[in-house]
Amino acid sequence: MTKAQHTPGPWQWVEEIDYGYGYTTLEGPDGQEVLTTGGINDGDEPITYMGDDSKPADLALIAAAPEMLELLEDFIDVYVKCPTMEDSSLGIISLKIKAKKIVAKAKGE
């Protein structure tokens, strides 16, 4: 397995107010700035930008998040519907193939 290139987790949202404008920043465990959203730029438009500490791999991980959630939901469904491992083996094989694709996407591969 390759070493992760993204900002390590867990990530958390931190709300801040600066110059009277509210910002929400997604931070890594040591306060690394991954993404900031909110506030107003000079054109009175909300802003969103990758933080100064972000990495290109963070974008890939964020982009894969919806598919990772869907995979986890599918995985739970297989186990709920199949009381034994033998009953779930076909579903698990399908999920394994899907999981490998999503992990590669999350790693930017």
User: Alpha-carbon distance 70 to 30, whole Å?
Assistant: 29
Q: What is the pLDDT of residues 65-103, one digit of tens each?
A: 888 888 888 877 777 776 666 656 667 777 788 888 888
38 in the Ramachandran plot: left (φ > 0), alpha (ψ -120 to 50) or beta? left
CA 29-32-38 angle, 5° bins: 110
Give residue 2's pLDDT. 64
Q: What is the pLDDT of residues 33-61, one digit of tens each?
A: 888 877 655 555 666 777 666 677 888 88
Report CA Rg, the chain.
19
Residue 27, strand partner residues: 12, 33
Q: Where are the domains of the chain?
A: 7-54, 55-109
